[in-house]
Amino acid sequence: MWSSAGHDIGTVLGEHIKHSVNIHSFLFAQLGDEVSRRNGSVTIQCLGRERSRQVSGMKSLFYPGTILTTRSISTALVGLFVSLASFTRGSDQSRFEVNPDAGAGDVIVRGKLGGLIFGFEVDPNGTEGLLCEAVSNPDGTVSARVETFSQATGRIIRVLAGSESQDDFIALGVAGSVGLVEREHVRGLFNIKRTFATINPLAGNMINGQWTPPIDPKQIVNQVKPALDGSPNVAVYALSVSTNLNPIVFSSNLADNTFGPLIEITDQDFTQEAPPVIAFDPIGNQAILGHDKPSPFILPPLIGFVDLATGSFVKRTGLGLGVINGIAVDSEDGVLCTDTSFDSAVQFYNLNDFSGISVFLPGHDPQTSTASGGDIEFDPINKLFLVAQPFSDGQLDNGSSLQVYDLTGNLLESIDGLNFQGGDNVFPVHITLNANRRIGFVNGPDLTTAIQSFSY
């Protein structure tokens, strides 16, 4: 009952490596079918006449093998035009109310052993969180643990499982108060058995179920995305690092250990380079894949919509430039949010017609990409998108921030005073939310061994 990918504690896996980018100069652009100017801004009607609401995911600057360079940038961007968009700005659709306690929190969570954190998530319907940790020992063994913690105090509540071998555990997520953990059992060089276990409910503090996805033993569960509707339903993206198998996506109910059809991703725009980031649209029953366009040039990204029942696949060209670092979706209102690395921008799409806008993150500078965003998470109760920005306002010595947007692209507040930058982590920076309490956790202040609370 456990698994993930072969993680040697001293080695950062290719598919999880976070890359730093130094880009000296560029032109940035957006491509679309229609451009309309409103109050000095540009709104793009992007490439879609129809689209059956499916899923869109985007690849990340912090994901494997994606190092942007100045390679032929000027050639790539000649003829493109600059776009700063405002998606019905000034509309009164936001439910945002100021939280007087908003800001970086003082709850710091560390594992019982003080080891590297291999994934974490909070129960959005409860008071606990889930994390896995690992410590390398001088004799070559690894001390690995699965633990629950208090969202209020950060205290470790219980150690649910442990190992003193070469094995490790990975916290893959929490959906509908059901926790999911993977165990990698090392049987030899390049011989790893991956199994998965559930904690249902997380507050029970006991591993009490198995999750048995019908995937090839050589395939690795790369991402698990919850429905955010209170159910234990998830969308899963799995890939192979040692065979020629295509990546697959499928749906699952964690509590029932049931699975939808396995759907192969065969479009080469989505199978080359690093894996895409994904979002789960449960109302549309689709996974949304985001990927940069494989090219020697810096181009607008691609968004793929995968019907999780029929397997149909629709590909669109998105807004922004470069790698998609984060993606999240409001399934109820049909709004998709992504961010792009090269132009340090955030995009908001209407899933019904794929119209959308792109707005710059605070501190955007056309000469660098230091203001670019990372992970995006959606608050389904307060209708907010939170975007991780490793370098506040694009400044290298100013800590990290979470930028909070409403559904129409208005920047509502900045949560400063965080620190999730620097160094290489096994996993990309991650935000996890308890929308009922308007709190969450993110990596830091030590990127690899701690997570920090915040309110918004």
Distance CA 347, CA 49 (A): 18
Residue 153 lies in a domain: yes
User: Span 208-235, mean pLDDT?
Assistant: 97
Whether residue 4 lies inside any domain: the answer is: no
CATH value at residue 252:
2.130.10.10
Residue 5 lies in a domain: no
* Whether pLDDT at 209 is above 70: yes
333-366 per-position pLDDT tens digit: 999 999 999 999 999 999 999 999 999 999 999 9
| Residue 350 in domain | yes
Domain total of the chain: 1
pLDDT at position 188: 87
More confident site: 399 or 91: 399
Long-range contact pairs involving 264-270 (C-beta distance under 8 Å, separation at least 24): 264/311, 265/289, 265/304, 265/306, 265/313, 267/304, 267/313, 267/315, 268/294, 269/293, 269/294, 269/302, 269/304, 269/315, 270/302, 270/304, 270/315
Q: Is the pLDDT of residue 41 over 50?
A: no
Look up the pTM and report it.
Answer: 0.82
- Most confidently predicted of 60-74, 91-105, 221-235, 240-254: 221-235
Question: Residues 311-329: pLDDT tens digits?
Answer: 999 999 999 999 999 999 9
pLDDT confidence band for 424 (50 / 70 / 90)? low
Q: Is residue 3 part of a domain?
A: no
Residue 148: give the domain boundaries: 14-455
Residue 341 placed within a domain: yes
- Report the pLDDT averaged over residues 241-260: 94
Give a yes or no: residue 2 inside a domain.
no
pLDDT at 439: 98
